[in-house]
Amino acid sequence: MLSSYRQIFAAPGSLAFSFTGLIARLPISMTGIGIVTMLGRIKDSYWLGSLLSAVLAVSAAVLGPRISRLVDRHGQRRVALPATGVTVLAAAGLLLGAHYGFPDWTLFVFAAGMGTMPSTGSMVRARWAHLYRDAPPKLHTAYSFEAVADEICFIIGPILAATLATALFPESGLLLAGVFLVVGVLLFTAQRRTEPPAHPVEHRSGSPVARDKGIQTLILTLAAVGGVFGSVEVVTVAFARAQGHPAASGSVLAVYALGSCLAGAVFGALKFTAPLDRRFLVGVGVMAAGMAPLILAAQLLHGTAALVGVGAALFLSGLAISPTLITSMALVERLVPAAQLTEGMTWTTTGLALGVAVGSSAAGIVVDAGGSANGYWVPVAAAALSAVAAYTGLPRLRRQLAAVRPAAAEPVHS
């Protein structure tokens, strides 16, 4: 298995841009739980934190593809640096507003401003595609590695944010996220030799990326998957507190990410002959089925046993996450021209972000109204919706795949 990963890092500069991209992605996993935990401690309520997190996700969904379109057109460094500057200023405003008791409406303005955070994960994958577009097996392994890197972020990030916010001061988790963003983006954009070329001519305004029927299927399905992510995060913070162990929420979420991380590492070393569309459908279906034990653990167990049971259920469900996301990125690379690849990948993360917005806000409302244990019905419902979206959109996805020339190593199901 390790030999497959060693091969992709033979390219000069590949290790540097992947590692620095990992640092720059840590804030993605820290901001949501950092905001929820911060406002939970300061306001003693989850509705405001969950709504702020939702506003941030919606803002990222609206602004993210546009920023990525500029990245494709003008280059990563020229766009990512100013976008990061705006994000940091907005985050500073949110921290100061929460600490000094600014009116709630100002916090929403600052949260919306944080939506300018550049999509480092898409930029990293665009670099891999630039290196290995003509070597599908290596590109599959590279995407798998980045999925594992994402999960490492979601293992480390929530623990850092939740633990710091509960053990030190409420703003500490979000503050550290800002530090990681600045350091990571500066180091990543300094890797100039591996930066893909800009496409100022090919990439025109009025991009048809979001009108592609296959991309629309991915966006809808991943929006429901995002609903799982956003709701699990909010409900687990509340559930851990209700069980008398508030700091354990980060560890439980880390177990969820660990299952995905392990599955992604194995998935990346395997070579597949099954069609991409079939792999995508199976991954979403397994993830949805794996959410069912979550309700039993939350409803029937109490105290430490409940946290252990929820963690075990999330671990099992997490085993399907990385394979599903890896396959999604491979589908985007197949469907979208190279000149629009960063934008195309960002549209999939836009779907996730929209789902996170809906899922986190719905979870906050359900938790405040019906308790944290009942809140786990939200991710279960979102997982079921993802399976429905994938199944009903499969014919459109297959038609779009059939319209492009399939790579030899990735057959298209017809």
Residue type, 256: Y
Name the strand (E) or helix (H) holding 359: helix 341-370
CATH 1.20.1250.20 fits 12-197+208-403, yes or no: yes
pLDDT tens digits along 78-123: 999 999 999 999 999 999 998 888 888 999 999 999 989 988 888 8
> Closest Cα partner for 341 from 119, 83, 82?
119
Query: Of 176, 170, 171, 146, which is closest to residue 260 (Cα–Cα)?
Result: 146
In angstroms, the CA 119 to CA 342 distance is 9
Cα(123)–Cα(164) distance, integer angstroms: 29
- Residue pair 214/401 in contact by the 8 Å Cβ criterion: yes
Q: Which amino acid is it at 181?
A: L
pTM: 0.71
Q: How far apart are CA 223 and CA 231, in angstroms?
A: 12
Average pLDDT over residues 36-43: 82
Dist CA 39 CA 364 (whole Å): 12
Q: What's the rounded Cα separation, in Å, for the pair 294 and 292?
A: 5
In terms of Cβ atoms closer than 10 Å to its own Cβ (0-12, 13-18, 19+), residue 137 is: middle
**DSSP character string of 36-86:** HHHHHHHHS-SHHHHHHHHHHHHHHHHHHHHHHHHHHHH-HHHHHHHHHHH
Amino acid 184: pLDDT:
94
**Contact 180/117 with Cβ under 8 angstroms?**
no
Q: What is the dihedral of CA 371, 373, 379, 385, to 10 degrees?
A: -90
- State residue 114's pLDDT score: 92
Length reported for the chain: 414
Q: Where are the domains of the chain?
A: 12-197+208-403
Residues 144-152 have a mean pLDDT of 77
Q: How far is the C-alpha of 317 from the C-alpha of 169, rounded, in Å?
A: 32
CA distance 153 to 18: 13
For 316, the enclosing helix (H) or strand (E) is helix 303-318
Three-state DSSP state, 203: coil
Distance between CA atoms of 41 and 365, rounded to whole angstroms?
17
Q: Quote the pLDDT of residue 289.
A: 86
pLDDT band at 336 (very low <50, low <70, confident <90, very high): confident
Nearest one of 35, 127, 112 to 80, comparing CA atoms:
127
Q: Which two tokens stand for residue 179?
A: 């530090």
User: Stretch 137-159: mean pLDDT, rounded?
Assistant: 77
Highest mean pLDDT among 24-33, 129-138, 163-172, 379-388: 379-388
Phi, psi of 117 (to 5 degrees): -55, 125
110 sits in which H/E element: helix 104-113
Enumerate the H helices of 117-171 as residue ranges: 120-132, 136-167
Band of pLDDT at residue 260, cut at 50, 70 and 90 = confident
Contact call for residues 228 and 359 (beta carbons, < 8 A)? yes
Task: Convert the pLDDT of each residue in 197-227 to its tens digit.
Answer: 887 755 444 456 667 777 888 888 988 988 8
Q: 169: Cβ–Cβ under 8 A, 6 or more apart, which residues?
A: none
Residue at 330: amino acid letter:
A
Q: Select from 349, 276, 358, 290 the least CA-distant residue to 319.
A: 290
Contacts of 47 (CB under 8 A, 6+ apart): 364, 365, 368
CA angle 142, 146, 147 (to 5 degrees): 115
Q: Distance between CA 307 and CA 229 in Å, rounded?
A: 17
Which of 176, 186, 216 has the alpha carbon at shortest distance from 394? Answer: 216
Q: Which two tokens stand for residue 115?
A: 């939506």
**pLDDT at residue 2, as a whole number:** 59
Q: Higher model confidence: residue 44 or residue 326?
A: 326
Q: Which two tokens stand for residue 374?
A: 């009942």
